[in-house]
Structure 1
Amino acid sequence: MCGARLPAAERGRPPAYCSRSCQAKAYRRRKKERAAPAVVPKGAAAPATVTPAAAGRRREIAEAVWRIAAGRGLESASMREIAAEAGVSLRVVQYAFGSKHRLLVEALRLLHEENEARARARVARLPDPTDPRAMLRTVLGEFLPLDAQRRMALRVFVAYYVRSLTDPALAEVFLHSEQPLEELVAALIRQAGPDGGLESGLDPWREADLLVSGVTGLGLDVLHGRRTMAEVWRTVDYHLDRILGPA
């Protein structure tokens, strides 16, 4: 432990420590190493050897983050509050995620996965998935509070956006340069093509940018009660008629 010469054995096994003080230090070091949380480097992927039980526990903790973010905002999401909301100890949360930043990033990733799975299921149920208007309505509807899950997700994304304004590390993750939704909407508009109803002279990317940002803002108005979903859909259909021609 300390490098000092060990005393000679009087009987039985030879001593492992030079003194009781050295033995106590070794005990405290082992205890600290066992209790230390598994720290995941910033931006690194989750460990590949997570057991099903551990994955389920991480999911429960992430859902606690969603509930706090949607109900009270991320400013209320301390590690202790998250642990209490999830019904686990603070030590469990620390062991599972290592840091608050990593927890917030993982909770956001899991929410994106949840939304993507639900969106794919809704697209699969479309009568004609090759219809660009139907596809566009379905894709844009994912950012409208059409049910409890999408309402919660929209509130969580707003909470992350607010937090990203004062948290540069979170902003790097949340406000990345990629724009997958805009790219998808632009691709669907292009698929309509000159023969498929796309109005000539339009820029698919600019139209996609306007549609996505507009729908997001309209969804927030629905959350505040300033607009109804019927009004929002009339606005969406108005712009789809302008881009693709009358239905």
Structure 2
Amino acid sequence: MRDEIRDRCRVCAAPLAVAARGRPPLYCSRSCQARAYRRRAGERGGREAAVTPAGEPAAGGAGEGRRRQIAEAVWRIAAQRGLEAASMREVAAEAGVSLRVVQYHFGSKHGLLVSALHLLHEENDRRARARMAVLPDPADLRAVLGAVLNEFLPLDEQRRSALRVFVAYYVRSLTDPALAEVFLHASQPVEQLVAGLIAQAGAAPGTDPGREADLLVSGVTGLGMDVLHGRRTLADVRTTLDYHLDRILPAR
């Protein structure tokens, strides 16, 4: 029984290859080795938290910063060369860290891609809120609605890159259920936000804010992709967007 246990991976219990020389292996792969390291680090963190005085947060900023550094490398590769080029080794090289560091923080390529997409959502939401916070007149709901929709257009290098990354992820998500879950929010928060702004701003009689929100969000996303391809100009897209907003929110 002792030999049987020793010949299996300590993480996933998969059979281990017999070592030709030296000490026998403990893990079946680098991924399992990284998972074991993370597990031990978590246990150490729990013990340290138990003796941390109340009100003093445990140190975790360095780890989050490193995860962000690696995720940004994924974004750059996806924007420039597509998501297929974002191998663990390529991401490590782009981030300026070792492959072992990437494995330690994310475990596998799939875990890395899913986590990087979550972080991209958070980053874009943070930037969008910061831009809307400096609108000349936040009470102008038409202007706020336009600002929300503008986040889907490649108006600057950051939004252009983010849109390219999202397109790369979207294509991948069509055959990857885990990535699809990140896109397929049942609550549709953006559509709900747009619908609420339309309703508050005083839509034209007979207007269904929910239906109009679906059309606007889907339409402006597609128009943004057309701009990336060079099929349309930003000026043309903004004219189209103003046309629909004038139809939905007629001047009083």
Compute the TM-score of the two structures, normalised by the length of structure 1: 0.79
> Offset of 1:117 from its aligned partner?
1.3
The separation in 1 between residues aligned to 2:67 and 2:160, in whole angstroms, is 22
Q: Report matched runs for 1:117-196 at 5 Å.
A: 117-193=126-202
Counterpart amino acid of residue 221 in structure 2: T
Pairing 1:36–2:24 present: no
Residue in structure 1 matching 2:81, options 68, 72, 87: 72
> Offset of 1:60 from its aligned partner?
1.0
Counterpart amino acid of residue 157 in structure 2: A
Contact 1:160 1:174 in 2 (8 A): no
The separation in 2 between residues aligned to 1:85 and 1:50, in whole angstroms, is 26
> Offset of 1:178 from its aligned partner?
2.9
Q: When the two structures are aligned, how many residues end up with a matched partner?
A: 217
Q: Report matched runs for 1:82-97 at 5 Å.
A: 82-97=91-106
The separation in 1 between residues aligned to 2:214 and 2:183, in whole angstroms, is 18
Q: Report matched runs for 1:95-114 at 5 Å.
A: 95-114=104-123
State the match for 1:233 in structure 2. 238
State the match for 1:202 in structure 2. 207
The separation in 1 between residues aligned to 2:234 and 2:182, in whole angstroms, is 31
Deviation string 1:106-165 (CA, Å, 9 cap, x unpaired) is 111111111111111111111221211101110000010001100010001000100011
> Offset of 1:105 from its aligned partner?
1.6
> Offset of 1:242 from its aligned partner?
0.0
The separation in 2 between residues aligned to 1:238 and 1:29, in whole angstroms, is 65
Give structure 1 stretches of 5+ with no counterpart.
4-22, 42-46
Contact 2:195 2:209 in 1 (8 A): yes
Give structure 2 stretches of 5+ with no counterpart.
4-21, 40-44, 47-57
Larger radius of gyration: 1
State the match for 1:20 in structure 2. none
State the match for 2:55 in structure 1. none
State the match for 1:215 in structure 2. 220
Q: Please, what is the CA RMSD of the aligned residues?
A: 2.8
SS of 1:199's equivalent in the other structure is: coil
What percentage of residue pairs aligned between the two structures are identical? 70
Compute the TM-score of the two structures, normalised by the length of structure 2: 0.78
